[in-house]
């Protein structure tokens, strides 16, 4: 019997659409002409952007941690539930696996600038935000969007991806996050 491991233990279900959250707020801001109204609107709305960014950052960190776990603890296991291996040739041409993380990376500077401009004090992201984004971007690139990932040994980890926790503890934290529907726990990995 062949050992198998899930490609995604359920992290995908916990994500928020970062692009939609930002697009709606940025579009609204563009349509407000008075500066005082813009400031009030941003101060009221930035928490949605912050929540979506934190959520996506935790998701990226969780994906990296899950990949680390399956590569280290489940070598040669068959990956189950990888939706990318069954993409048609046409779908593969349209598939842009790094699009969302690239959007996040590009938007990050504007977000930081907006926090200063609108004088927001509690919208900071974790100190390791750029490191997580860089590692996840590299991870997506190294694995070509996972269209060839049939086994855990097909997954390539970035060289700089290192965890001090034992792999079973990483798995336990991920399972805890899933059980409690709390993706932000994954930022503690």
Per-residue model confidence as pLDDT tens digits over 97-125? 899 999 999 999 999 999 999 989 889 99
Say how far residue 48 (Cα) sits from the centre of its chain. Answer: 16
Report DSSP state, residue 30: H
Over residues 85-98, mean pLDDT: 88
Helices (H), ranges, the chain: 18-30, 35-73, 89-94, 99-117, 129-142, 167-179
Give the mean model confidence (pLDDT) for residues 125-145. Answer: 96
- Residue 2: per-residue pLDDT: 55
pLDDT at 94: 86
Give mean pLDDT, residues 49-68. Answer: 97
What pLDDT band is residue 93 in, cutting at 50, 70 and 90?
confident
Structural domains counted in the chain: 1
> Which residues span the domain enclosing 97?
4-188
More confident residue, 167 or 94: 167
Q: What is the pTM of this model?
A: 0.93
């Amino acid at each position: 019997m062949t050992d198998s491991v899930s490609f995604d233990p359920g992290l995908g279900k916990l994500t928020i659409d970062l692009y939609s959250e930002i697009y709606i707020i940025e579009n609204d801001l563009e349509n407000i002409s008075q500066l005082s109204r813009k400031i009030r609107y941003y101060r009221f709305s930035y928490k949605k952007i912050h929540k979506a960014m934190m959520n996506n950052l935790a998701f990226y960190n969780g994906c990296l941690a899950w990949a680390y776990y399956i590569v280290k603890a489940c070598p040669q296991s068959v990956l189950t539930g990888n939706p990318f291996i069954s993409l048609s040739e046409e779908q593969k041409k349209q598939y842009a696996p790094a699009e969302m993380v690239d959007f996040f990376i590009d938007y990050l500077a504007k977000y930081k600038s907006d926090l200063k401009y609108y004088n927001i004090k509690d919208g900071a992201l974790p100190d390791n935000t750029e490191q997580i984004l860089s590692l996840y971007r590299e991870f997506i690139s190294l694995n070509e969007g996972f269209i060839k990932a049939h086994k855990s040994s097909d997954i390539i980890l970035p060289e700089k991806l290192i965890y001090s926790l034992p792999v079973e503890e990483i798995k336990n934290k991920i399972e805890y996050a899933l059980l409690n529907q709390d993706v932000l726990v994954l930022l503690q990995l």
